[in-house]
Structure 1
Amino acid sequence: MFPVSRSLRSDPPETTVTGMESPTGPRDRLRAWLREHLSYAVSEFTAATALVVLFIALSLASPHFLTADNLFNIGSQTAVIAIIAVAQTMIIITKGIDLSVGSVAALAGVVGAIVVRDLGFSVWEATVVAIGVGAAAGLVNGLLVASARLPPFIATLGMMSAGRGLVFIITGAVGVYSLPESFQLLGNGEIAGIPFAIVITAVVALAAGFLLSQSRFGQHVYAMGSNLEAARRAGIPVRRNLTAVYVLAGALVGLGGMVAASRVSSGQPNYGIGLELDVIAAAVIGGASLFGGQGRIAGTLIGAFLIALVRNGSVLLGINIHYQQVIVGLIIWAAVYFDQYRRRRLEARG
């Protein structure tokens, strides 16, 4: 559906996402392209197969799984994970990581709830505010990474701590309640029987997929993740584009935080603790490489649904929440190992 990677054709010798010199002949380039895309098709097919198998297994294991209420809940839960996982995918493509998504989502959701309760904002106005809060946090992350040149891990680790601290300061560590019924629209509303959160997710996924696959900005994003120095030498405005990626990702995290708050009709200061694990897992399951330069929105959506089913199935089957964390950790290990294995195979085949 969407291209997996971009290479810098203007930087000799031409470098692919694996860091190798690419084949020089048209036929060799075509073969390399086919091998790479076939590899990712296999990755996504494997994830999709696991999703189907898990869906069938849960249908047989629990009589409550296929109920309308539970499927509605899965859709809403998946929406939050998917929206924020799309943001994480964009950052991972640039060879970065964002550990602050949980804190920023909580901050955006709390601020959105407060402006509705205390200032009389509508849910749509509050959503714009929440997106702005996320974008502001993303701007700070982007400037620290692109201009101050801090490692993404350190920059976003600091934002994770600062964001969570701000949430507790603003709320006094108490949830924001007494919200109007209209506040639940994003998380629990429907359009023609379809959860509104799913509609939002579809719009976000389509827009992000188009941006990455069809725009010059998307080409630059893949190029920066493949080889940052080569991208700089090719004339790509690395600082501006890298900052823009973090701002855009932060805006999506803010939107996801608002949807999450809407689901429970409250702003929860503890929301999002451990959320970064779920969204990173969703991205890498879908084929995004932690080594940068690779990732597809379609694959991320598959990964998000898989993680949501793991969470939902664990609850239905009475599996301890701590075991859920173990399962997600194992999934991350497996996905990253498969990514390394795939890259080694591509390098071996030249």
Structure 2
Amino acid sequence: MSKLFERLKDLAGPEMAGPSMAFVAVMLIFGIASPQFISAATFGSVAFQLPELGLLTLAMLLPILTGGLNLAITFTANIAGLTLAWVLQSYGGADAGVGALILGVVLALAVGAASGVVMGLVIAFTRAHPILVSLSMMIFLRGLGEFLTRGGDISGFPDFIRPLGHGSLLGIPVPLIVFVLCVLAWHVLLTRTKLGFNTTMIGSNIEAVRYSGINTRKVIVWVYALSGLMCSVAGIIMLARFNSVRVGHGESYLLITVLACFLGGVNPFGGFGRVIPVFVALIVLQLLSSGLNLLGANQHLATAVWGILLVGIMILRWMAGHFKILKNRR
């Protein structure tokens, strides 16, 4: 039993302390405030709502680990979703077959990865700041999507797509299964592959990594390509969830993905972070939102609370670092 505990501790790392305490606090506060909070209905709602935000957070995680940022995640997801929607519409809309779905998914994944590759190339070869590059990509994708859809949405998809967004397998929501598989893939990538190791090293000190002989440009391009690929997965799930696609879907998720990463112990300057604590942080945020909804609070209040939480996390981190410096001086 002790070996299993140590193994789980190694997987999660010291970053798990913050999300764990936040999870306990949310469960206690809302469990006392609302008797309906700790129920199957609440956790079922969280299970269906978590994947959309979670997949976009995974897309944000890799760039943050390199010391960068991808501000184009939501619009990349929507462009990928629009790509799938256009393919389905071209092959009959609601009457489209499975072959059209497979073709649309492949093209959607390719579009997301391509947007990431473009950002990665610009960042890697021009050394422009990732915020400026991803902001430019965000504006481009938003304008392109608005132009192509004329500000509207696309709907009318085959019925066999609905289980991807609303179905269950052995009682577990299909979107959650997809998300958990992506979490495991990201965990293996960061802990068992050379790319994952180089990603965190670049976030720690890119010049030292460059002088050690590692092709940092190649790593950065891969990081943003994988980020775009994960955005595509999110866009496909969002299409199935909403049964429609438009450019502005999930736009409010952008800053919340950053919050989830910080709450999960990821260093905002790169070089340090794990997937499992971020996964727990996402659960905490969704439970917080569900708890506020049960208390009759507006969804906008939940967004405001998330913002306050982000400020609080930054203050607590500053205090922890300050006290650590004082302790070392003594």
TM-score range, shorter chain: 0.7 to 0.9
Residue identity in the other structure for 1:214: R
1:129 corresponding residue in structure 2: 107
Contact 1:289 1:336 in 2 (8 A): no
User: What CA distance in whole angstroms lies between the structure 2 residues aligned with 1:311 and 1:169?
Assistant: 33
User: What CA distance in whole angstroms lies between the structure 1 residues aligned with 2:211 and 2:280?
Assistant: 35
Residue identity in the other structure for 2:290: N
Q: 1:58 aligns with which of 11, 30, 38?
A: 30
Give deviations 1:273-310, integer Å, cap 9, x for gaps.
12111111111100101111011001110111122223
Contact 1:261 1:268 in 2 (8 A): no
2:44 corresponding residue in structure 1: 72
State yes or no: 1:287 paired with 2:265.
yes
2:86 corresponding residue in structure 1: 114
State yes or no: 1:194 paired with 2:172.
yes
User: What CA distance in whole angstroms lies between the structure 2 residues aligned with 1:180 and 1:66?
Assistant: 36
Change (3 A) 1:347 1:139: farther
Q: Normalised by the size of structure 2, how large is the TM-score?
A: 0.87
User: What CA distance in whole angstroms lies between the structure 2 residues aligned with 1:72 and 1:125?
Assistant: 32
1:237 corresponding residue in structure 2: 215
Within a 5 Å distance, the mapping from 1:142-291 to structure 2 comes to 142-291=120-269
Change (3 A) 1:316 1:176: farther
Give deviations 1:157-196, integer Å, cap 9, x for gaps.
1111111112212222112111122122222121111111
State the Cα RMSD in Å: 2.4
User: What CA distance in whole angstroms lies between the structure 2 residues aligned with 1:61 and 1:165?
Assistant: 44
Contact 2:119 2:224 in 1 (8 A): yes
State yes or no: 1:305 paired with 2:290.
no
Which SS does the other structure have where 1:305 is aligned?
Answer: helix
Residue identity in the other structure for 1:102: T
Contact 1:184 1:264 in 2 (8 A): no
Q: Normalised by the size of structure 1, how large is the TM-score?
A: 0.82
Which SS does the other structure have where 1:96 is aligned?
Answer: coil
Aligned length: 313
- Of stretches 124-133 and 158-167 in structure 1, the one that deviates more from structure 2 is 124-133
Q: Which has the higher helix share?
A: 2
- Of stretches 324-333 and 111-120 in structure 1, the one that deviates more from structure 2 is 111-120
Residue identity in the other structure for 1:201: F
2:77 corresponding residue in structure 1: 105
1:3 corresponding residue in structure 2: none
Contact 1:109 1:267 in 2 (8 A): yes
User: What CA distance in whole angstroms lies between the structure 2 residues aligned with 1:247 and 1:121?
Assistant: 29
Which SS does the other structure have where 2:300 is aligned?
Answer: helix
Contact 1:289 1:339 in 2 (8 A): no
1:44 corresponding residue in structure 2: 16
Give deviations 1:118-172, integer Å, cap 9, x for gaps.
3336344433332222111111211121112210110111111111112212222
- Of stretches 74-83 and 285-294 in structure 1, the one that deviates more from structure 2 is 74-83
User: What CA distance in whole angstroms lies between the structure 2 residues aligned with 1:196 and 1:202?
Assistant: 10
Unpaired runs of 5+ residues, structure 1, are 1-36
Give deviations 1:45-68, integer Å, cap 9, x for gaps.
231222233234434544654565
User: What CA distance in whole angstroms lies between the structure 1 residues aligned with 2:164 and 2:24?
Assistant: 27
2:54 corresponding residue in structure 1: 82
